């Protein structure tokens, strides 16, 4: 029991360094570390990670990486895309690939990644909103990082067969402000005009 408490205290004091990287400029070291991080979590169920088509989801244009020394312990990515919401075009940062290594969970790394991604959505990519879909179990985490849940029917191409369209009206959708406040999000159905993130 004492051993577990000591680990928990150490993890709270984790001092990670965050970097923001354009996908096209990722170093070989960053790509190798991303592959290690994602394969450790998902390889058994989904196979090898592919940076240009991660598990059939849309790839990121920007990556926010959390480093503990030379080891990558966290990632979130986003892709710039103009989607349609209620007949209105909206420039979003389609956000995905949110992952924190087991040894870095529970000490705020995930929130720091999301806050830094939001700054990058504004400064680097100049987008109106962040946008993501997630499992119901993690909605609270995203809300605690300033994301707001919206209710809408969403359509996007299937991750395994891009010839198919998936229409979803029950999975959680969240947005965050970037250049525009969430109060300016249009009402209506969402067409991602491509694959989900």
Q: Average pLDDT by consecutive 10-residue portion of the chain (197 residues)?
A: 36 82 97 98 96 94 97 98 98 98 96 98 97 97 98 96 93 98 98 97
Residue with tokens 């966290």: 74
Query: Residue 90 belongs to what H/E stretch?
Result: strand 88-100
Comparing CA positions, the residue from 164, 144, 147, 146 lying closest to residue 155 is: 164
Domains for the chain: give ranges and CATH numbers: 2-195 (3.40.630.30)
Token output for 117:
């991604």
Q: How do beta strands 148-150 and 129-133 pair?
A: unpaired
Comparing CA positions, the residue from 93, 65, 100 lying closest to residue 78 is: 93
Report pLDDT for 12: 53
Comparing CA positions, the residue from 154, 95, 166 lying closest to residue 130 is: 95
Q: What CA–CA distances, in Å, run from 107 to 104, 111, 162?
A: 7, 9, 37
Helix (H, G, I), strand (E, B), or coil: what is residue 150?
A: strand
Report pLDDT for 13: 63
- Residues 66, 113: Cα–Cα separation, whole Å: 7
Task: Provide, for the chain, the percentages of residues in helix, strand and coil under a 3-state DSSP scheme, each rounded to the nearest 5.
Answer: 35, 35, 30
Report pLDDT for 143: 98
Q: Do 109 and 14 meet the contact criterion of CB atoms below 8 Å apart? A: yes
Is pTM beyond 0.85 here? yes
Calculate ∠ Cα 92-147-31, nearest 5°. Answer: 60
List 62's β-bridge partners, or say none.
22, 78
């Amino acid at each position: 029991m004492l051993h577990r408490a000591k680990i928990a205290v150490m993890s709270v004091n984790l001092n990670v360094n965050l970097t923001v990287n354009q996908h096209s400029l990722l170093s070989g070291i960053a790509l190798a570390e991303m592959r290690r991080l994602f394969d450790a979590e998902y390889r058994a169920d989904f196979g090898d990670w592919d940076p240009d088509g991660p598990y059939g989801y849309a790839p990121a244009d920007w990556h926010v990486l959390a480093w503990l020394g030379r080891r990558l312990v966290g990632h979130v990515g986003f892709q710039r895309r103009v989607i349609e919401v209620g007949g209105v075009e909206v420039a979003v940062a389609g956000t995905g690939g949110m992952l924190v290594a087991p040894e870095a969970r529970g000490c705020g790394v995930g929130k720091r990644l999301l806050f830094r991604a939001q700054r990058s959505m504004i400064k680097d990519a100049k987008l109106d909103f962040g946008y993501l879909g997630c499992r119901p179990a993690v909605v609270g985490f995203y809300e605690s990082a300033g994301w707001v849940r919206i209710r809408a029917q969403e359509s996007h191409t299937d991750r395994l067969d891009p010839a198919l369209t998936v229409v979803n009206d029950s999975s959680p959708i969240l947005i965050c402000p970037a250049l525009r406040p969430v109060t300016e999000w249009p009402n209506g159905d969402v067409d991602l005009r491509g694959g989900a993130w």
